[in-house]
Amino acid sequence: MNLKVGTKLFLIGVLLFLISPVFSQYATSGKITFERRTNLEKRYTDKRMKRMINETNKIRTEKFELLFNDTCSIFKAIPEQGTSDQMSWMTSKNTYYQQLQKKSQLTILAVFGQNIYILDSLPSRQWKITDNKRVISGYDCRKAIYQKNDSTRIYAWYTSALIPSVGPEGFCGLPGTILGLASEDGGIIYFAKNVELIKPKKEDIVLPIGKNKVFTLDELRLKIEKEYGNTRWGKGMFDELFRWL
């Protein structure tokens, strides 16, 4: 699969090079389809939750798409075909809309079916660059590491061939587009399955806020800390919320 796409892209690259040598294969816009694989066995430590998880359903696969150009990007879930299954509540699907020049990000967190709107500046993360490389969907990617806290590290593979600094789950700040993202234990993995070099339509990359209440990240953190911090279960319930933030 990867090889095929790679070969195709290579041919397209060669073709473009032949037609007009001025074009490089650098791209500033496109649509990337991501596959997210969540290992529920690793994700949940609670015994009761584990009881619901078995060999056949422990890996949840979901699809997302990242539409981007040089000024904005939107990352959202692709609605599942057919039936919704019993385990769908075990993972959450968030939406991110980034305006790169304004350096702002609108995040819609889907928390147990409710949407929470967060408008804040683009997340700034400190990345460590490694010499590790791999090919994802035909692109040479370099691995970078983000140390979220003492116990959590997140790996990202980015390509410099796609210029905008965007990625899945609102991850950005690397010199290129992130095509792979994974938690260190392999519990959650995003990989680009397909990269289309198209120009997204204007209407596709607009995210209306509507009349919903909009928080900043600090406001939301404060609200949850204040209102749920003293309950035994409250904090845990929202841990998932800040998994990627």
Q: Residues interacting with another protein, by CB under 8 A?
A: 24-26, 37, 39, 45-49, 55-56, 59, 79, 81-84, 88-89, 110-114, 116, 126-135, 139-140, 142-145, 153, 155, 159-161, 163, 165, 174-176, 182, 184-186, 189, 223-224, 226-228, 230-233, 236-237, 239
Q: How far is the CB of 151 from another protein (least distance, A)?
A: 11
Q: How far is the CB of 167 from another protein (least distance, A)?
A: 14
Can you read off the two tokens belonging to residue 204? 């596709």
Closer residue to another protein in complex, CB, 103/134: 134
Helices and strands: H and E segment counts in the chain: 5, 12
Q: How far is the CB of 233 from another protein (least distance, A)?
A: 5
Partner residues linked to 182 by β-bridges? 155, 189
* Cα–Cα distance measured from residue 151 to residue 146, given in angstroms and rounded to the nearest whole number: 11
Q: How far is the CB of 75 from another protein (least distance, A)?
A: 20
Q: How far is the CB of 89 from another protein (least distance, A)?
A: 5
Q: Are 127 and 146 in contact (CB under 8 A)?
A: yes
* Cα–Cα distance measured from residue 169 to residue 171, given in angstroms and rounded to the nearest whole number: 6
Closer residue to another protein in complex, CB, 96/191: 191
Q: How far is the CB of 236 from another protein (least distance, A)?
A: 3
Can you read off the two tokens belonging to residue 5? 């796409």
* Cα–Cα distance measured from residue 190 to residue 91, given in angstroms and rounded to the nearest whole number: 13
Closer residue to another protein in complex, CB, 10/121: 10
Closer residue to another protein in complex, CB, 102/128: 128
Nearest residue to 243 via CA among 166, 180, 188: 188
Closer residue to another protein in complex, CB, 3/201: 3
Closer residue to another protein in complex, CB, 199/202: 199
Q: Are strands 214-215 and 114-121 parallel, antiparallel or unpaired?
A: parallel
Q: What is the DSSP string of 162-201?
A: B-S---GGG---SSSEEEEEEETTSSEEEEEEEEE-----
